[in-house]
């Protein structure tokens, strides 16, 4: 396999993914892959890059038409249909769809364009159109899975409080951490925070004591303290 990746036949592929505009999406796709790898290893929160995007009913004060407010990004994502799932998933889909689209455009069409300034000139509109296309495709892709995230979140809160979980990240303190809860299936990975200055290490057993809706995290205490 490595021999194939290092062979001369792969040179056109590497040239395409490293050339503008494909390189733009290649960069973000690599970042996303590294992020998911590090997150799976438990070194960071799975949604450490997320921020709250309210529901499109307007009840949380986001003005979807006034893009000059501090809520500009959230309002723009609402208008584009990019809500209801973690932001990291949205960015990963945009990077993946954009990478595939740009790669094939460059592969089949850019061979007719001379190297140099003309390629950059042609690449700019391709980049903008591809970014828009991949964003719309992402919005369409996540639409059917939004209810799954919402239902899972609602059901999880009532079912997990008072249950014991295992710290999966390097630590859990009052600002960082995740725990793994065995639920009889694949298990649940939940954001967790300790009380005060208490710190739990990877592998420690903790009890989910309280759900803090605004932060979307669970307050935990040690299993020993809970049983005493």
pLDDT in 10s for each residue of the chain, 228 residues:
555 556 666 777 888 888 889 999 999 999 999 988 887 776 665 555 554 454 554 444 444 444 444 356 667 777 888 877 888 889 999 999 999 999 998 888 887 777 778 888 888 999 999 999 999 999 999 988 887 776 555 556 667 888 999 998 888 998 888 898 887 666 778 888 998 889 999 999 999 998 887 777 889 999 988 887
- What was the pLDDT predicted at 45? 59
Quote the tokens at residue 110: 């850019």
- What was the pLDDT predicted at 8? 61
**32: CB partners within 8 A, 6+ apart:** 88, 91, 92, 95, 96
**Strands 205-212, 164-167: pairing kind:** antiparallel
State pTM to two decimals.
Answer: 0.63
Q: Say how many residues make up the chain.
A: 228
- What was the pLDDT predicted at 70? 37
Q: Find, among 48, 97, 55, 49, the residue nearest to 74 by Cα.
A: 55
Residue 112: HSE in the Cβ half-sphere, 13 Å Cα cutoff: 4
């Amino acid at each position: 396999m490595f021999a194939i990746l290092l062979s001369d036949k792969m040179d056109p592929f590497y040239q395409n993914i490293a050339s503008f505009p494909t390189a733009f999406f290649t960069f973000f796709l690599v970042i996303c892959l590294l992020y998911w790898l590090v997150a799976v290893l438990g070194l960071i929160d799975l949604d450490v890059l997320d921020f709250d995007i309210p529901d499109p009913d307007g009840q949380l004060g986001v003005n979807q038409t006034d893009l000059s407010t501090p809520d500009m990004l959230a309002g723009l994502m609402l208008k584009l249909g990019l809500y209801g799932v973690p932001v990291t998933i949205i960015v990963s889909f945009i990077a993946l769809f954009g990478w595939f689209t740009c790669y094939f455009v460059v592969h089949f069409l850019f061979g007719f364009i001379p190297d140099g300034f003309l390629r950059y000139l042609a690449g700019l509109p391709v980049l903008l159109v591809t970014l828009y296309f991949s964003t719309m495709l992402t919005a369409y892709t996540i639409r059917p899975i939004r209810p799954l995230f919402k239902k899972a979140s609602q059901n999880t809160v009532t079912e997990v409080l008072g249950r014991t979980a295992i710290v999966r990240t390097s630590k859990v303190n009052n600002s960082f951490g995740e725990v793994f809860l065995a639920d009889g299936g694949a298990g649940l990975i939940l954001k967790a925070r300790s009380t005060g200055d208490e710190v739990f290490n990877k592998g420690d057993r903790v009890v989910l004591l309280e759900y803090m809706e605004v932060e979307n995290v669970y307050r935990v205490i040690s299993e020993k303290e809970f049983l005493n």
